[in-house]
Amino acid sequence: MLRRRALLQSVALGAVSALAGKSTMDVQLIRPGDAAYRDAKLGYFTHYDAQRPSAIARVVSPADVQRCIEIARTDRTRITARCGGHSYPGYSTADGALVVDVRGLNRIDVRADGTAEVGAGVLLMDLYLALANAGRMMPAGTCATVGISGLTLGGGIGVTARAFGLTSDRLVSARIVTPDGVLRTVSAAENADLFWALRGGGGGNFGIVTSFVFRTEPARNLTTFTLQFPSAALPSLLSVWPDWQGKAPDALTSTVGVGSGANPYVEVGGCFVGTPANLKPLLDDLVRRVGSQPTSRRETEQGFLAAMERFAWCRVNDGSCKPSWNGGGGSQSRGSYVATSRMLTKPIADPQKLADIFKNTPHSYNMIDALGGAVGRGPATAFPHRAAVASIQVECTLAAGETNARRDMGVARDELGTMFGATGYVNYLDPQMPDWAQAYYGSSLTRLREVARKYDPDRVFAFAQGIA
């Protein structure tokens, strides 16, 4: 641990005199040249490994976060928060930035009233384990090493979204250090404008959250399922899936997954809050509509934690759900792909064209994640896509290099935009997204900019795709 004076001297020499006489509490700081720097600076994606933050501050308290923001304000140092490090454009490991690593803020307290206080540094599988141990559950994502902070701030699409809403819809309150260095509580009753913005306004825009309080649900058994269809059935599947999913009960949330190539991998998978017996007629109806029998079909009833392990392809009891980088101590692998998104805003009028986009995007895997249900009826928040049928994500591996992957991904993104409109999901940030602010924030953009000007008039948290 380094004393605060060392932190100031190494990151923001110009701020020393302005901060003289303040508290000398410790912050662990890792700088270029330190033995731990090479691993500490890594995020989830391998293609950003060459980026060099000016320092990584490992914070363990809101006061630590306040000191880091004070430094950034005084010396005009770029500052960024990092939890899971899954930023698609690599913003949480940016060159020259002071990276505030919040993983030390990892306390989870599941209360008797069914709410859970969750530190901003908690990763999803650690949250699921704590909730399951307390007999609770809540909607969130499927990647074990995604951080609760970024997921929540962007909205939070997950495999039980139609039943229980977005992750951000479950937010009761949060604690955030705003750019002026003040630790604030935000809720429907306190700083309500900022509370609105934090539920869908994107990470890194309004300060650094230190903790959340969520409403949870009693844990219950879930039925996970996967149906793999012949590749020739893809246009038919795309034609019937939106209506089938839209008319299904809220208990059912599904995803269409399509690999690229002349004979793509085609599947429908998801989660049903209920038993296999009640799910079976719904899946039978999908098969009937598609007009082609699946080549494989699986329905498995599981407890909440086991279901989340299944989606994450890991087990909490053997360390396989923990990161293999940044001292995570586990074996979860890192990512080597780029991604973009659009929102499915209307019925698929030309399923063959959509099938061709997926098939013809090299080295891609494409996902259509259902919305509607509880998401469509959700509270008034900054998340702008309540009326969307689904989100569409296009992931391209780096098999042919990053430049080619981004080019091919961009072609698919623009073709999808022609079909469904200039929209996108802020948690799948694409640095080349045309008119990105309107795409990600839609009708919420004007109000979000007002909130940003109010809380960050000096643009402390400005970045390439930041609201400020």
Identify the DSSP state of 118: E
The three-point CA angle 449-424-143 to 5° equals 105
Rounded to whole angstroms, how far apart are CA atoms 341 and 360?
16
Count CA atoms within 13 Å of residue 342 on its CB side: 22
CA dihedral 447, 449, 450, 456 (to 10 degrees): 140
First to last CA, the chain: 33
DSSP per position, 352-366: HHHHHHHHHSTTEEE
DSSP per position, 236-278: HHHHHHHHHHHHS-TTEEEEEEEE-SSS--EEEEEEESS-HHH
| Domain architecture of the chain: domains with CATH | 4-104 (3.30.43.10), 108-218 (3.30.465.10), 222-302+336-437 (3.40.462.20)
Residue 43: CB partners within 8 Å, gap ≥ 6?
82, 85, 86, 87, 90, 92, 93
* 402-418 exposure pattern, b = at least 16 Cβ within 10 A, e = fewer: eeebbebbbebbebbbe
The angle that helices 351-360 and 402-420 make with each other, rounded to 10 degrees, is 170
Contact (CB, 8 A) for 351 and 406: no
Beta-ladder partners of 137: 217
Rounded to whole angstroms, how far apart are CA atoms 197 and 194?
5
Rounded to whole angstroms, how far apart are CA atoms 200 and 73?
25
pTM passes above 0.85: yes
The CB density around residue 385, as the number of other CB atoms within 10 Å, is 27
**Tokens matching residue 43:** 């995020």
pLDDT in single tens digits along all 468 residues of the chain: 333 334 434 444 333 223 233 333 468 999 999 999 999 999 999 999 999 999 999 999 999 999 999 999 999 999 999 999 999 999 999 999 999 999 999 999 999 999 999 999 999 999 999 999 999 999 999 999 999 999 999 999 999 999 999 999 999 999 999 999 999 999 999 999 999 999 999 999 999 999 999 999 999 999 999 999 999 999 999 999 999 999 999 999 999 999 999 999 999 999 999 999 999 999 999 999 999 999 999 999 999 999 999 999 999 999 999 999 999 999 999 999 999 999 999 999 999 999 999 999 999 999 999 999 999 999 999 999 999 999 999 999 999 999 999 999 999 999 999 999 999 999 999 999 999 999 999 999 999 999 999 999 999 999 999 998
Rounded to whole angstroms, how far apart are CA atoms 10 and 57?
11
Q: Is the dihedral of CA 427, 430, 436, 437 positive or negative?
A: positive
Beta-ladder partners of 364: 396
The CB density around residue 338, as the number of other CB atoms within 10 Å, is 24
